[in-house]
Structures are given as C-alpha cells and as structure tokens.
C-alpha cells in the first residue's frame, strides 16, 4: 500500500547536469533507485494545483509564514478519467512538511474539489484524509490554477527508507488546458540542464550525506515549483505594467 501520510523535513538544492551526475554516482554507494527508476529510467509526475481566484494560497506561501498549505491532484504519467490519482493536502509547519493524500479516480478528484462533497467511501480511500480535505475545501473557493510536470529520479537509503532523495528535471508548466489527462506538456520553468534535488528525511540527515553535500559544494536553497511558476508567470509579468502606470501618474 502506498504511504498516505508523510511528516518530514525537505531541503532543496539546484544544480547543473555535471553536478547531478557527480553526486548521483556517489550516492549510489549508500542508496538504491526507486522501483520506478530501474534501468536508469525517469518517471513523470504530473500535478494540478488549485488556488483561489486571487492566488491566496501561493501568495501566502511565498510570504513564508509559520503555517502554509496547498492542494493538488497528482498523477504518475498521464492519467485517463478512471485512472488512480492522489488528492493531496500539503502543509508546512515550522519547517516540517506534512503531506496527506488519498487515492481516488481522476473524475472523483475533480468532482470532489469542484463541489466540496467527497465521493462515496470505498476500500482504498483514506477516510481521515478525505475529512481533512473536505474541511479545507469548505474554507476556500478553489479553481484549477496551474499544471506542473517534471521527470524524476528517486533514491532510497539502503536499510533506511526514511531517507529519500529525488532529482527533478525538465520542469514544465501551463495555465491553460488545465486537465491532467490533456498531456504532460508545458513551458520550461528552469534553464535547460538544471536539476532540483530534494533531500527528504524524517529526522536529521546522516553524517555521510552532510559530508558529501559539503564536498560537492551544494548548498540549500528555497525553491517552490508552484511558487516560482507564480513569480515567473503572474507576479513578475504584472510588474512592468505597474511601472508604466507609475510613469503616467
């Protein structure tokens, strides 16, 4: 059964392709690929983020309060209407990431978010998570806001599944055709050849990993895929308009 409740710390690092291969090769001495990455193949993650008309959730998140939250539908690959997806509520409290999700059919997930009414419970759903998402939906008027996809390589620590490292590349997004089943195309979010590494651990990272990060001169950065897409597409796009208005006045 897939894990449906996560509590962990996530540290992020941006790097180029050379840095990716250098640290990836060193990590294989301690870690093993995710089952979806056998034979060095990527797997694709597709996400549909929901927000209010005025981007309340992402604007709040970018302000970095002690508590922030997001809602998304996630699929692995491009789903059909009856395919299994995950409706996820992601929270961050004092730096600790709490992710709660339940498996639904894509059509059920769409309808749940649209109406705020959960589907009839059946085996395979997480009743507690559904109740939490239902309460969340009662607090906001949400709409599909942005599609985000990326290709991922993931590693688990040998003998310690609590430590996970992921590498995402070819991060792309779109603000039209906001359906997961419409395909995993979009505009690039990062420069070609850039990678986002995330170190995910329930507790502190092991000494060998801290030493390896230092040796490779990799330093933590603050990076939200949805947040950076918003800044690039909405906030920064509006900035020149504001400047022109100031000049006229």
Q: Which of 64, 71, 68 is nearest to 47 (CA)?
A: 71
Q: Find the length of the chain.
A: 249
Q: Which helix (H) or strand (E) holds 208?
A: helix 207-215
Report the pLDDT averaged over residues 41-56.
95
Q: Please give the pLDDT value at position 102.
A: 95
Q: How far apart are CA 130 and CA 3, in angstroms?
A: 15
Provide the mean pLDDT of the chain. 90
pLDDT in tens, 67-98: 999 999 999 999 998 899 999 999 998 888 99
Which pLDDT tens digit goes with each residue over 181-219?
999 999 999 999 999 999 999 888 899 999 999 999 999
Given a contact cutoff of 8 angstroms between Cβ atoms, the answer to whether 156 and 27 are in contact is: no
Of residues 190, 220, 187, 189, the one with CA closest to residue 205: 220
**Per-residue model confidence (pLDDT) at position 203:** 81
Tokens at 118, concatenated:
């959960």
List of domains in the chain: 5-248 (3.20.100.30)
pLDDT given at position 244: 35
Tokens 């797997």 belong to residue: 43
How does strand 67-76 pair with strand 160-174?
A: unpaired
DSSP state of 62: H
Indicate the pLDDT class of residue 245, thresholds 50, 70 and 90: very low
Q: Model's pTM, two decimal places?
A: 0.90
- The whole-number average pLDDT for the span 104-126 is 95
């Amino acid at each position: 059964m897939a894990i449906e409740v996560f509590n962990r710390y996530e540290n992020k690092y941006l790097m180029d392709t050379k840095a990716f291969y250098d640290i990836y090769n060193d990590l294989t001495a301690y870690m093993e690929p995710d089952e979806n990455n056998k034979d060095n193949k990527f797997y694709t993650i597709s996400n549909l983020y929901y927000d209010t008309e005025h981007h309340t959730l992402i604007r709040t998140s970018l302000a970095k309060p002690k508590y922030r939250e997001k809602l998304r539908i996630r699929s692995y690959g491009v789903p059909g209407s009856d395919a299994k997806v995950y409706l996820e509520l992601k929270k961050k409290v004092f730096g600790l990431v709490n992710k709660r999700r339940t498996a639904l059919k894509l059509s059920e997930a769409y309808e749940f978010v649209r109406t705020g009414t959960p589907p009839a419970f059946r085996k395979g759903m997480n009743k507690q998570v559904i109740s939490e998402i239902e309460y969340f939906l009662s607090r906001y008027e949400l709409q599909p806001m942005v599609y985000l996809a990326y290709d991922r390589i993931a590693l688990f620590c040998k003998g310690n599944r609590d430590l996970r490292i992921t590498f995402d590349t070819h991060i792309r997004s779109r603000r039209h055709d906001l359906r997961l089943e419409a395909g995993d195309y979009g505009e690039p979010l990062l420069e070609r050849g850039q990678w986002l590494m995330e170190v995910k651990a329930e507790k502190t990272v092991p000494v060998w990993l801290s030493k390896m990060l230092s040796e490779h001169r990799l330093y933590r950065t603050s990076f939200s895929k949805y947040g950076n897409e918003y800044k690039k597409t909405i906030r920064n796009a509006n900035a020149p308009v504001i400047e022109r208005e100031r000049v006229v006045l």
